[in-house]
Copies of this chain bind each other. A is one copy, B any other.
Amino acid sequence: MAKLRPHFVLFGDSITQQSFANEGWGAALADLYSRKADVFLRGYSGYNTRWALLLLDKVFPKVSSSAPEVVTVFFGANDAALPDRGSQQQHVPISEYKENLHQIVSHIKGNSETTVVVLITPPPVDEVGRRVYARSGELPERTNEVTKLYAQACKDVAKEAGVPVIDLWSLFQQTQNWQQAYLSDGLHLTPRGNRVVFEELVNVLNCRPYLTADELPMDFPPFSEIDWKNPSSIFQAKE
């Protein structure tokens, strides 16, 4: 497709992959930016940052003309799986997680310094909610205590790399009953949880006026501006 609009890329794990379902934050973004930006879904269920590195050259090739304007990087929920429980194969040690996030940010920025990279921390884990998904008798594969460390590491990377971050781990827990309000299974998001991600992302974009939905131009004139007796005039004028 011809590039008619800025490109926003949502890069992450299942919480990103599912962001067009269930009143999802990805769909809400695409709706807010309809006529103004194209939103690309690059969510990979189950992926951690180690595997995300293996996708970088393909998802973000070094062709500057195709560099996106905005990228959300939303990994950590799988890296934080405990190394001695049911999802051990997804575990990535925290020091490697930090290094991998840095590599992701610098790869994207290396293609285009002007790309806005937004890090998002993993959401908090509700262990009671996760227990339903563990096999009978098993302990949950993630704990909130450990995920907190990954969320902090994500914030550290954002600070070190000088990019914005959405601290979902902390934000969710400011609400009483966050476990049910924001999480559907102790890890993935309810419509309300999706709403928080969407609103926080819009807040980040609103700090960059040229990227707000209000300021970005429509790709073609609103129909109310078309002279219906000479419709081609406004299209020619825009060329």
Binding site for B on A (CB under 8 A): 1-2, 4, 7, 9, 17-18, 20-21, 23-24, 26-28, 30-31, 34-35, 38, 40-41, 43-47, 50-51, 54-55, 58-59, 61, 63, 66, 68, 78, 89-90, 220, 222-224, 226, 228, 231-232, 235
Please measure, in the bound complex, the distance between the C-alpha atom of A9 and the C-alpha atom of B1, giving whole angstroms: 9
A2-B66, A20-B30 given; A54·B223 CB < 8 A: no
Task: Please give the distance in Å from A37's CB to the nearest CB on chain B.
Answer: 10
Q: Is the CB of B45 within 8 A of A223?
A: yes
Q: Is the CB of A27 within 8 A of B34?
A: no
B-chain residues with CB within 8 Å of residue A1 when the two chains form the complex: 7, 9, 40, 66, 68
B-chain residues with CB within 8 Å of residue A78 when the two chains form the complex: 223
Q: Which of B45, B54, B232 contacts A231 (CB 8 A)?
A: B54
B-chain residues with CB within 8 Å of residue A41 when the two chains form the complex: 30, 34, 38
Task: Please give the distance in Å from A121's CB to the nearest CB on chain B.
Answer: 20
Q: Which of B20, B58, B222 contacts A31 (CB 8 A)?
A: B20
Q: Is the CB of A235 within 8 A of B4?
A: no
Q: Is the CB of A58 within 8 A of B2?
A: yes
B-chain residues with CB within 8 Å of residue A58 when the two chains form the complex: 2, 4, 220
B-chain residues with CB within 8 Å of residue A35 when the two chains form the complex: 17, 43-45
Please measure, in the bound complex, the distance between the C-alpha atom of A31 and the C-alpha atom of B231, giving whole angstroms: 36
B-chain residues with CB within 8 Å of residue A90 when the two chains form the complex: 223, 228
Task: Please give the distance in Å from A184's CB to the nearest CB on chain B.
Answer: 15
Q: Shortest 4 CB-CB distances between A and B: which pairs?
A: A46-B223, A27-B27, A89-B228, A20-B31
B-chain residues with CB within 8 Å of residue A63 when the two chains form the complex: 2
B-chain residues with CB within 8 Å of residue A23 when the two chains form the complex: 23
B-chain residues with CB within 8 Å of residue A222 when the two chains form the complex: 45-46
Closest to A88 in B: B228
B-chain residues with CB within 8 Å of residue A26 when the two chains form the complex: 30
